Chains A and B, each alone.
With several copies, the nearest count.
Chain A
Amino acid sequence: MTGNVEIKVLFFAGLREQLGLPSIQSKLQAPLTVASLQQQLASQGAPWHVMQSEHLLCAVNKEIVSPEHVVRAGDEVAFFPPVTGG
């Protein structure tokens, strides 16, 4: 699948605060891996450089995925720092 895909991206905890927003709706060029999505977001200048952190985790449709995971149209993508619950 190629062309533009509409993707919702959520941010949580410290990352949400650093970016100053809980989510964005993005039109991006597909096919697209999580790693390249993260890179594209990180390249948008301040404060987006915080997306460069290799410690960030990514979930697609509420399941943890690896950086190689391919994002599809309609997916809900989330980036967040390592978890600290319990």
Chain B
Amino acid sequence: MFSVKVQHEDFNAGKEYQALTSVGAGAIVTFCGLVRDHSAEGRIDALTLEHYPGMTENTLQQLLEHAGRRWSLLAGRIIHRVGRLEAHQQIVFVGIASEHRQAAFEAASFVMDRLKNDVPLWKKQHGQQGEHWVEVKESDRQAGAKW
């Protein structure tokens, strides 16, 4: 019902969506996060994603299970890429299948908001300003706290 992958390789968002169509859902919401090519500070060339092997997977799985207790869900999948990812590449896929759209929208949004606060993943940014570890955004902290 809930599946989680942490990998360097790219994913096929279409196939991940397809995998969610077999559960008789009325609504499927997917989120994909991609590497932007700029930020307020300038050009971004790439990100390097670091994780804590074992804990990252566990925490993502717990996050889906938490969503499954809070909303009526039929299936959920998360894929998070790690390692160096160039601008415009895919970073993360979240897919949620449920009977009705509100649960799917809310659960997908919840997973992303909490992922950014609770899951051991760290981004280093490479770009115009050299490289640096990305700082926590106050907006992400607030989004995580609202649930």
Contact = CB atoms under 8 A, between A and B. Distances in A.
Interface of A: 10, 12-14, 16-17, 59, 62-64, 78, 80-86
Contacts of A84: 116, 121-123, 133-136
Interface in B74-91: 80, 91
Nearest to B80: A85
Chain B: interface secondary structure?
mixed
A85 B52 contact: no
Contacts of B80: 85-86
Interface of B: 33, 49-52, 54-55, 58, 80, 91-92, 101, 112, 115-124, 133-136, 140
Q: Name the prevailing secondary structure of the A interface residues.
A: mixed
A77 B9 CA distance: 29
B55 A13 contact: no
B109 to A, nearest CB: 12
B135 A85 contact: no
A78 B117 CA distance: 17
A86 B133 contact: no
A85 B115 contact: yes
Contact of A86 (B54, B91, B135): B91
